[in-house]
Chain A
Amino acid sequence: MNPVWLIAVPLALAFISTFANRISNWLLFLSAIFNAVAGIFLSFSSGTASYSIGGWRSPFGIDLIVTDATRILLPVANILFFFAVIIHLSKKRALEKFSVVYTISLASLNGILLTNDLFNLFVFLEIAGVAAYLLAMTGKEGESKVAAFKYLLLGSVGSLLYLLGVAVLYAAAGTLNISAIATKVSDGLLNGDVMLVSSLLMIAGLGVESKLVPFNGWVPGVFTKSSNMATLVLASVYPVAMISTFSRVILAVGDRRALDLVIVLGVATVLIGEVIAFKQRNLRSTLAYSSIAQSGLAIFLVGIGTVEALTASVMLIINNALAKFVLFSVDSYTTEELGADDLESLYGLGRMAPVAGLIFTVSALSISGMPLFLGFRAKLLAISSSFESLLVVPIVILLAAAIEITYYFRWIFALYRPYKGEERARLSLPLELMAIGVVLAAILVFLGSSSHETLMAFSKAGNAMVDAIITLGKNLIGGV
């Protein structure tokens, strides 16, 4: 089926909800279901396919590209969004007037994952960005507006720099299609200075959303102050689209020298993220800085650029998305019920709400890379492929992993310590959260301990990240 339905349907339903305000929640639910089902259909075929928009053949028109990597990432993003909608649909306050914004953000994330055109990517990044700025404003205190404003400034500067990079690349290459430019880059037809400067500008632009150092000043404020559903979507669904698009674009049109800079920035991000996360005293901030570190992990592998590294990167993105979904959900639930989420308040949560404790433990272990979980396989592959570059890189990554394990275990032990205050009643999770959490935790365990063949899909995805865009460009007949 034509993947443009994944973008057109949520947009159409969003426009309908402007004059039918009462049913906007149901329209959001409808578009989330439609996208989740359509995303699953997309994953049944295989290979690289390109769909043109407007009837003009690529590279003259815009086209959508579906590779093996998209077939994993797209369904995951849509299904996680659907889960987020299910969990929060019953709480009227969370959605209220913002359902239009969520619907449009769903459409834009799909657009980012699918598009094969640089300027179209800019437009969809702006849509996703404006939706994210609006979602960041949903917090209860006035500080969320200041955090959202900071996010808006950083995001706008980032997209400005990205646009400049695209303009410079267009002046040199004459086309805006990613496959066509990738072919020219690999044939060596573009000036080295032009490629270097445009890669730097595009790294700066895409790096703001991908939480790279030094562009990630917005993350702590936004993740800690916005509402529960907004944080869930921003922390688990957005990174899937943003980090994978960063990888796709920089690998296709980036200069080889710029990839070394990507390694440096990625490693710095990991180290800074883990160190600051270690010092945090409440769970939300810890998870926010841990998200920064996970992005850095996935991105420095892009700089290394081998198929193995890209496979690890895809696995890390999926691991982060699933685990952070559970972690943030449990955290927002306990904050609502217990009022606080610092270390002492969470003592004994494992006994008060056993299912919550179990899924929290599984997700935390998977993110820190313990054996039996998907995170272990991903980290192992990441570290082994990092030996391709300087020795200092795997050393820093291992150091960061050690720090990560330490603070996650601190939180896990806190869940099972006896509570020091008065007796608290047993908590029971809402049914949707329990069911979804158990499903996601089971997936993490399954992928982590199953045989090697089930991970073939990830290797195909890694392969596709490196090759598919250039292969499509070379197969275009009559391209410029």
Chain B
Amino acid sequence: MKRIIAGIIALLFFFTVSIVLNTDSQTVSGVPRYGEFDLSERNSHSYVTKSVNDTLKEVKFGSTIDAETGSANFVTSIVINYRSFDTLGEVTVLFLSATGVGLLLGGDKKRLLSPIKASPVVKTAAKIVSPLLLILGAYVFTHGHLTPGGGFPGGAIIAAAFLLLVMVDDEKRAPALLKVLEGSMGLAYILLGIGGLLISGSFLQNFLPTGVVGNLFSAGLIPIVYSLIGLKVGAELSGIVDDFVSEGGDNI
């Protein structure tokens, strides 16, 4: 009986929301047909042509100097520059969740032992692969303004390297440095924001020159912020992994 009601509610939801699809027309604007709309009707047109504050000019890879955000990856320029406040909030949510997991589960010195012992082959291979994973993660978050990815996937890859080591080695615990790294990276992000407020007049405004579009050292604050975020997310997720394999529980 319960399943039938649940199914009816789910179907009701599906049909209610699907009436809004394909509703665009000449007089009133609705949700456009999949793949058919004019980008110039949306705010994103100015994000792509980098013309929010300047006039419309063509931005070319490798030759335009001092463009508005300077980053070749448009998604990165939105995440770190145009809508940087959202990213600050997202970093805070992850920080709160990691704190919560630490309060609930963490703090014990002993570790849960895995029921299957890894063979020496796997252990050795893991010790070779995990530094490569760390390098890959660092590459992803430093090149966030040139390639897809950025701070969050980069941090996740770093945490995956830590997870690999935790899975093969029963003694592995997170170093105490991780908590300090997490807090200081978050603090650095807000200090950069306050710096923007004091130097340029708005919170989180970019106050470094943006260089040539497409170089590694370009786009002002963006690579710096993404590196901070990458390290912070990596430290946080590694901390969460560590809390889950520790023996503590019911610590509140």
Contact = CB atoms under 8 A, between A and B. Distances in A.
CB-CB nearest 4 A-B residue pairs: A18-B183, A191-B30, A123-B89, A174-B42
B114 interface: no
B187 A62 contact: no
15 contacts: A8-B190, A15-B186, A15-B190, A16-B187, A53-B84, A60-B46, A123-B85, A127-B89, A127-B96, A130-B97, A164-B17, A172-B30, A175-B43, A191-B23, A197-B17
A11 B183 contact: no
Contact of A19 (B30, B97, B184): B184
A103 B118 CA distance: 43
A190 B31 CA distance: 9
Interface in B113-142: none
B244 interface: no
B85 A55 contact: no
A12 B190 contact: yes
* Secondary structure call for the B interface: helix
B43 A55 contact: no
Contacts of B88: 11
A61 interface: yes
Interface stretch (B144-152, B163-171, B203-211): B203-211
Contacts of B81: 54
Contacts of B83: 54, 61-62, 119-120
Contact of A54 (B31, B32, B85): B85
Given A8-B190, A123-B90, A60 B52 contact: yes
B134 to A, nearest CB: 23
B75 interface: no
B183 A97 contact: no
Question: In the complex, which range does the number of interface residues on chain A fall in?
Answer: 35 or more
Interface stretch (A131-139, A382-390, A450-458): A131-139
B53 A191 contact: no
Interface string A341-385: 000000000000000000000000000000000000000000000
Interface string A241-269: 00000000000000000000000000000
Nearest to B185: A15
Nearest to A171: B31
- Secondary structure at the A interface, as helix, strand, loop or mixed, is helix
Contact of B89 (A126, A171, A191, A480): A126
B64 interface: no
B53 A56 contact: yes
Contacts of B25: 191
A133 B103 CA distance: 13
Which of A17, A54, A60, A198 neighbours the largest number of chain B CB atoms within 10 Å of its CB?
A54
Given A2-B197, A54-B85, A480-B41, 19 more contacts: A8-B193, A12-B191, A18-B180, A56-B82, A57-B53, A60-B43, A60-B46, A61-B52, A62-B86, A97-B252, A100-B99, A123-B90, A127-B89, A127-B96, A171-B32, A172-B24, A172-B29, A193-B23, A194-B30
Contacts of A131: 96
Interface string B48-72: 0000110000000000000000000
A137 B105 CA distance: 13
Interface string A110-151: 010000000110011011001101100110001000000000
Nearest to A21: B179
A61 B100 CA distance: 32
Given A55-B200, A62-B85, A12 B93 contact: no
Given A18-B179, A123-B86, A480-B43, A52 B202 contact: yes
Interface in A1-29: 2, 4, 8, 11-12, 15-19
B87 to A, nearest CB: 9
B224 interface: no
Contacts of B186: 15, 18
Given A59-B43, A60-B82, A480-B43, A15 B183 contact: yes
Contact of B96 (A59, A101, A120): A101
B174 interface: no
B28 interface: yes
Nearest to B90: A123
B201 interface: yes
Contact of B19 (A19, A124, A193): A193
Given A2-B197, A59-B43, A172 B252 contact: no
A123 B28 CA distance: 29
B42 A134 contact: no
A145 to B, nearest CB: 8
Given A18-B179, A120-B89, A54 B205 contact: yes
Contacts of B41: 174, 480
Best-buried of A55, A100, A198 by chain B (most CB within 10 Å): A55
